Amino acid sequence: MDEIAQQSGASPPPRSTADAKQAPSLRGIQDVATHLGVTHRTLRFYEDKGLIEPQRVGNTRIYAKRDVARMQLILRGKRLGFSIKEIKDFLDLYDADPQHVEQNQMLLGQVRKRIAQLEHQREAIDKTLVELRAIEAESNAYDGQ
């Protein structure tokens, strides 16, 4: 997950005690929302879906580095077009598979599936564009008469 977290923009773990002091290990919802560029509602949504589990102090949500890293992976997964279920399955595998073998295999399979979907969409868009350009050319020719 460290490699994926780094690719998604997650901060690497602190390398020294000085670094650890600079990187807060617990953060409030406002800080996390601002850091990730999302709303409080977005964070609560993913909490409701069981993808993140912030600690509670009374009614206040407190996010650990793990929650922030998971949110970065969730947001990346959503940007890439994965469903919440696919993202949840991937995150659950990370927790269950310390060697990350299953996680890697699942990720590779999902990535290949998504590439195929996008290529199919691109073909459909290209065909639509050809047809629309033909209609446009016919309309232009008709206007010119």
Give the residue with greater pLDDT, 20 vs 101: 101
Q: What is the mean pLDDT of residues 1-18?
A: 40
CA of 74: how far to CAs of 84, 90, 109, 122, 143, in Å? Answer: 8, 10, 17, 25, 51
Give the model confidence (pLDDT) of 75-112 as tens digits: 999 999 999 999 998 888 877 766 777 778 888 898 99
**Token digits for 127?**
């065909």
Q: What is the pTM of this model?
A: 0.67
Q: Say if residue 69's pLDDT is above 80.
A: yes
How does the average pLDDT of the chain come out, rounded? Answer: 83
Report the Cα 97 to chain-centroid distance in Å. Answer: 20
